Amino acid sequence: MKKLIALLLAALMALSMFGCGTKETTDPNTDAKDGSEATEVKWPSTAVQLVVAYSAGGGTDLTARTLAEALGANGNFGVVNMTDGGGVIGWEQVRTSDASICDQLIFALNSMFVTYLSGVSDINPMTDIQPVFAMDGNSSYFVVVNKDAPYDTLDEMIAYGKEHPGELTLGAGAPGSTMTILTSQFIKSTGLDCSLVATNGSDADAVAMVMGGNMSCYLTNQTTTQNYLEAGEVKVLASVLPISDKSVDSIKAIPTLADLGYENCTMGTTFIVWAPLGAADGVYEKINELFNAALATESVQTSLAERGCDYVSYGNLEETVARLQSDYASAESAWNDYMSSQG
């Protein structure tokens, strides 16, 4: 009997030791689900294409290339211009790309809000594709005219329009673009007598039409304005928005609409990066983190400052999405106002 009791005690002790040896412990470096070590999100895992739905040489393209160069420290980033179908093909390529690697991103403007609201595109920029990064540009749009135009100031152009009704033409961007709203606000503010011309392509393409005498004036972004102004290829009559203090002297010398006694326009510029829906946990946050880091680099800040741009990040992913949702609501309101003004 003693021998049997001893054997039972030995067996119980063995089971107790076995249980202690396999007891789960909580390790701050392990995943709670499977006990594997927590690992940092790895992105990118392959070469990344930053799709720009505008022609090469414009402000959006130059800004994308500036960021891509800084992002190169974290992988292979390239920029590809896809303008077919008014840029819609580029949007569709990114929207339907492989979210498991997120090797396709689109770099574009907040004009995508109006493009969707107007029905030009059926891609909802807040629900059909994922915004991951945004930066607000404290930059303006400028009234650019041919260097040989018979007017040197905005007031002179407005007077010329009244004396020559139906002669002046103003680029209105692609149908359903932010430029549609901006030009509408500009005409309402100044009373300029002009007809609108649809322009498909980059700001550089539109300015080329002005330089070639195929269009009287265009409201172009600050980067494009500065490039052509410094080259002496255009005259710049006014800025339709306030001008950043970081702008170069030649830009700061340009009067705003408010300086001239008119009401400033309200549609500014925001650059946004979108990714396909369905990425793994943490990937969108990682993309946001890397773009924020690129924006903060000295090389990017210097390059943007040289073009008179003062871009400020929307913040982390959560902050970015929240602000863009507010921007979208404002764009929807502006579009509804524009449609009401058209009768």
Give domain status of residue 40, yes or no. no
Q: What angle do CA 81, 83, 85 make, to 5 degrees?
A: 150
Q: Would you say 311 and 301 are in contact if contact means Cβ atoms under 8 Å apart?
A: no
pLDDT at 24: 37
168 and 86 within one domain: no
Percent of the chain with pLDDT over 70: 87
State the pLDDT confidence band at 21, using cuts at 50, 70 and 90: very low
- Comparison of pLDDT for 85 and 275, the residue scoring more: 275
State the pLDDT confidence band at 14, using cuts at 50, 70 and 90: very low
**What is the DSSP secondary structure assignment for residue 84, as one 8-state letter?**
G
Give the separation between CA 224 and CA 202, rounded to whole angstroms. 10
**What is the DSSP secondary structure assignment for residue 87, as one 8-state letter?**
G
59 and 84 within one domain: yes
- Comparison of pLDDT for 309 and 263, the residue scoring more: 263
State the pLDDT confidence band at 27, using cuts at 50, 70 and 90: very low
157 and 90 within one domain: no
174 and 220 within one domain: yes
pLDDT at 9: 39
Which two structure tokens, joined as six digits, stand for 219?
């409201």
Q: Would you say 134 and 271 are in contact if contact means Cβ atoms under 8 Å apart?
A: yes
pLDDT at 176: 66
Q: Find the domain containing 173 and state its range.
A: 145-252
If one counts the domains in the chain, the total is 2
Q: Which of 291, 317, 338 is nearest to 113 (CA)?
A: 338
131 and 164 within one domain: no
Which two structure tokens, joined as six digits, stand for 68?
């891509």
User: Which range, 33-37, 246-250, 314-318, is most confident?
Assistant: 314-318
State the pLDDT confidence band at 38, using cuts at 50, 70 and 90: low
Q: What is the mean pLDDT of residues 264-291?
A: 93
Among left, alpha and beta (phi > 0; psi -120 to 50; other), residue 229 is: alpha
How far is residue 50 from each of residues 70, 127, 139, 308, measured CA to CA in Å?
13, 20, 23, 23
277 and 238 within one domain: no
Give the separation between CA 102 and CA 162, rounded to whole angstroms. 53
Q: Which residue has the tokens 């505008």?
A: 54
Q: Which residues have CB under 8 Å from 89's CB, separation 6+?
A: 82
pLDDT at 13: 41
Q: Would you say 43 and 280 are in contact if contact means Cβ atoms under 8 Å apart?
A: no
Which two structure tokens, joined as six digits, stand for 1?
């009997």
Q: What is the mean pLDDT of residues 9-15?
A: 41
CATH code, domain carrying 227: 3.40.190.10
DSSP per-residue letters across 214-275: S-SEEEEEHHHHHHHHHTT-EEEEEESS---TTS-HHHHTSPBTTTTTSPPP---EEEEEEE
Residue where one domain finishes, among candidates 252, 287, 302: 252
Q: Would you say 205 and 230 are in contact if contact means Cβ atoms under 8 Å apart?
A: no
| pLDDT at residue 298 is higher than 50 | yes
- Comparison of pLDDT for 183 and 276, the residue scoring more: 276
State the pLDDT confidence band at 67, using cuts at 50, 70 and 90: very high
Q: Would you say 269 and 177 are in contact if contact means Cβ atoms under 8 Å apart?
A: no
323 and 237 within one domain: no
pLDDT at 255: 96
Give the separation between CA 134 and CA 110, rounded to whole angstroms. 9
Which two structure tokens, joined as six digits, stand for 272?
């946004």
Q: Which residue has the tokens 């992913």?
A: 317
Residue where one domain finishes, among candidates 198, 226, 252: 252
pLDDT in tens, 158-204: 999 999 999 999 998 776 677 888 888 899 899 999 998 988 777 88
pLDDT in tens, 87-113: 788 999 999 999 999 999 999 988 889
Backbone angles phi, psi at 143, to 5 degrees: -80, 105
- Comparison of pLDDT for 243 and 4, the residue scoring more: 243
* Beta strands across the sheet bearing 104-109: 77-81, 48-52, 104-109, 269-275, 130-137, 311-313
| pLDDT at residue 70 is higher than 70 | yes
Average pLDDT, rounded, for the chain:
85
158 and 91 within one domain: no
pLDDT at 343: 61
pLDDT at 128: 97
Which two structure tokens, joined as six digits, stand for 315?
């913040």
State the pLDDT confidence band at 234, using cuts at 50, 70 and 90: very high
CATH code, domain carrying 277: 3.40.190.150
Q: Would you say 134 and 270 are in contact if contact means Cβ atoms under 8 Å apart?
A: yes
